Amino acid sequence: MPADQPSNYAYTKLKGQGDHASDFIVAMAMGHQNVLELGAGPGSVTQRLVAEAGCNVTAVELMDEFLPHLSPHCIRIVQANLDDPSWSGAVGSDIQYDLVIAGDVLEHLRDPQATLDAACRHLAPDGAVVVSLPHVGHGVIHACLMNEDFAYQSWGLLDRTHIRFFGIRNMQALVNNAGLKIIDVMHVCREPEDTEYAAVWRAAPSSLKAAIEENPFAKVYQTVIKAVPATSPGAEIALIDHAPDAPRVTPMMRLNRVAKRLLPSSFYRLARQIYGRLLSR
């Protein structure tokens, strides 16, 4: 990633750090050509859609500083605010897309249902929608609530720019209310120790941890959903019936846990940035 790329909405996929939602988005985009990406940010996912899935991407993005990072990868950029209903008109009705992507976007919006409804109006009859959402039911959030500490952070599940929160049933309702049905789902799973609230989890009573982990979705960090119009042929997936397997924990993730415990937070963030830059060379 360019050194000056805005860091809050960009990422470098770190080797050994487990699955990332972008991996699943790109996998679900395979076979789709004309893609409308909502809230594309600085193009972290956009680049992969083009390079790995062969997509032609039209991006909708508001922030001026992100546009130069998007322009090399997009066939078109629409600068618009997804919280303003006029964004749909700015995209235009002359082109229908075989895939619409909202990757970690809807949780930042005042009315995510209205935005998803509008997005579906740009969908070809045989098209699909891919949505990625953070899961507010992760076990560390329960631990935070039981500690009476719902503290926003600069990133993660309680990113301070998140204004909407979704459990598994809420995700299903969001998609169904847009006239869609879910045909595929992939979960990004993280052990509590591998989240931004690891310290809260370590301090929680054992009895509380045991109760929280009774929830089969307690380790779901993000959920990536692929949906099609409800009238399409084929069966619908009920998310609540698709609990994930246990998270994969790599040796690098275990090392990361130790670093988080031992290093001051500023040094830890710096170490991750240096690691990311070394990998991107």
Instruction: Give the DSSP letter string of 146-211.
Output: HTT----BSSSTTBTT------HHHHHHHHHHTTEEEEEEEEEE--GGGSTTHHHHHHS-HHHHHH
- Does the pLDDT value for residue 265 go beyond 80? no
- Is 259's pLDDT higher than 50? yes
**What is the C-alpha separation between 7 and 22, in angstroms, rounded?**
16
Three-class SS of residue 51? helix
Please, is 47 exposed, middle or buried when counting C-beta atoms within 10 Å of its C-beta (0-12, 13-18, 19+)? Answer: middle
pLDDT at 121 > cutoff 80: yes
Q: What is the pTM of this model?
A: 0.87
Asked if residue 7 has pLDDT above 50, the reply is: no
CB atoms within 10 A of CB 145: 11
Q: Provide CB contacts within 8 A for 175, sequence distance 6+.
A: 116, 129, 131, 181, 182, 225, 227
Question: Residue 239 and residue 144: Cα distance in Å, rounded?
Answer: 25
Model pLDDT, residue 10: 57
3-state SS, residue 126: strand
Give pLDDT, residue 46: 97
pLDDT reported for residue 14:
55
pLDDT given at position 243? 93
Average pLDDT score, the chain = 90
Could you tell me where the beta strands, DSSP code E, fall in 72-122? 76-79, 97-103
Element of type H or E holding 275: helix 265-280
pLDDT above 90: residue 208 = yes
Cβ-Cβ contacts under 8 Å for 69 (sequence gap 6 or more)? 2, 5, 10, 42, 43
CA atoms lying within 13 Å on the CB side of residue 203: 10
Contacts of 253 (CB under 8 A, 6+ apart): 16, 17, 18, 194
Q: CA–CA distance from 218 to each of 78, 200, 210, 237 (Å)?
A: 37, 15, 11, 20
* pLDDT value at residue 1: 33
- Model confidence at 12: pLDDT above 50: yes
Alpha-carbon gap, residue 121 to 89, rounded angstroms: 11
pLDDT computed for residue 255 by the predictor:
77
Q: How far apart are CA 275 and CA 277, in angstroms?
A: 5
**Percent over 90 (pLDDT), the chain:** 76
Angle at CA of residue 240, ends 235 and 245, nearest 5°: 100
Query: Which residue type, as a one-letter code, is found at position 31?
Result: G
